[in-house]
Amino acid sequence: MENWPDVAIPGAVFLCAVMALFSARRLVQAHVKAWAERTGWQGLGILRDATRIPSIIWTIIPSAWLALLVSETPQEWKDYAIKGLWTLFIVSLTLCALSLTNELVEFYAEQLRASKGALSLARQTIRVAILIVALATLLGIWGAPLSPVILGLAALALVVALALRDTIPNLFAGLQLDAAGQIKTGDYIRLETGEEGCVIEINWRNTLLKAASGGTIIIPNGRVVGTTVINHGRPSTRAKQPFQFHSRVHLKELTGLKANDLRELADIFKAAPDSVVYLHTHHFLEEHHYLTPEPSNDLAIWVSGSLGEEILGERLASVDTFEFATLQALKERYVSIIEEYLSQNHGFREAGEGREFHFLKSVSFVLPTPYMANDMREFVEALRQVSLGSLYFHVFESRLRLGRGMNDFSAWLADSLDKQELAQKIAKVDPYTYTLEGLRSLLIELVEKEIQ
């Protein structure tokens, strides 16, 4: 075979170069391993793992290039072969860089405790930059014009920027929140615009809050950065049992009983059930909750208006309901006032036809609301939002109508949060001397002082 040197010489050059480069590769890997053990930097281990397979390709490519240089292959073919080798090198280097940067981003994100949004953005940004550089290099190797590619990339960037014009500010705001670290998952925050809740997530676009109603409030990061935010830090101690806010609906029902004078009023009221007593002593209070001090009751209004017994009416209106722990005790007090008046005044009047006192009773339906509190901060937030009917139920009805002797709020604070002192403060508040809105504000003030 006359042309055997044309094959043998390039082959020998290739084998010698491969052997030499493989030896150099082993030396470099051993040096990197020793350096990693000496310094303790985990990044060198990541580098070694990421280049283990690509480095094999990098020993073959220069060996093949040297073999081509000494071969008798036509120059035109050599040029194409060399371009192919460069393409293979750029592709392998790009894949290695993508793998390496991905591992390094993960490693440093763990060290810096970066959020998922910042981590994803950093990873994608580096990937895009590497791919753009690789594409431009490959086009340069094969002699393709770069101007159309650059113009295309610029046009694409413009289109993306226009499409994401509302998203990009929130994205950078999210990065600002993450970098500042002033608001973290688990913090309870309140925005100047009124939204408040516990932070459950800060992603690349929105901040998610858990509201007292159990729902999720989604706020764009740009709004969080651009407004005043009060950060109350981590929620207070969680309650043993959450507080479920309830409300109720009353239906008034005629009993068929009516009184025409004071004697009939006292006798019927003395035998009346709690539902009748509660309605005639409290429904005026609820319907006219904006009045203060304690509004009158049905007995006092009828005695003064229909019978003209103003002195007795004033006595009945002056009964301090807060002094009584049960409806039975309250009923006995009203009856004793009427009977004492009867014993001192024998010529009492009659109401006349059409002006009798008709006894009513209330049928109540208690309904759960969407508001629930697991700690004192959630309790305050819910207290701001519940209806006046819910507030009335937990403060007035639970104490007298339900026979608990203490409002629901005090009972929960004492039993589930062990806040005995705060529970007593709230229990000592006379709710009959406040409007319902005034009572709401006072309760919020007392609980917030405890939180602070």
Residue 443 has pLDDT above 50, yes or no: yes
Task: Map out the domains of the chain as residue ranges.
Answer: 4-163, 179-231, 243-451
* Amino acid identity for residue 98 in this structure: L
Does residue 347 or residue 122 have the better pLDDT?
A: 122
Cα–Cα distance, 62 to 452 (Å, whole number): 70
Q: In CATH, what number does 179-231 get? A: 2.30.30.60
Q: Are 299 and 265 in contact (CB under 8 A)?
A: yes
Contact yes or no for 217/131 (Cβ under 8 A): no
Q: How much of the chain, in percent, has pLDDT values that exceed 90?
A: 10
- What is the arithmetic mean of pLDDT over 83-110? 79
Q: How confident is the model at residue 1 (pLDDT cuts 50, 70, 90)?
A: very low
Task: Reply yes or no on whether the pLDDT at 361 is more than 60.
Answer: yes
Q: What integer is the mean pLDDT of 187-202?
A: 79
**Distances 167 to 128, 205, 307 between C-alpha atoms, Å:** 19, 7, 72
| Higher local confidence (pLDDT), 26 or 171 | 26
Exposure string of 385-420, with b = 16+ CB inside 10 Å and e = fewer, is ebebbbbbbbbbbbbbbbeeebbbbbbbbbebbebe
* Sign of the C-alpha dihedral computed for residues 227, 230, 235 and 239 taken in this order: negative
- Helix %, strand %, coil % of the chain (to 5): 60, 15, 25
**Is residue 108 predicted with pLDDT exceeding 80?**
no
Q: Which two tokens stand for residue 424?
A: 């007593």
Pick the range with the lowest mean pLDDT from 10-19, 375-384, 432-441: 10-19
pLDDT score of 240 more than 60: yes
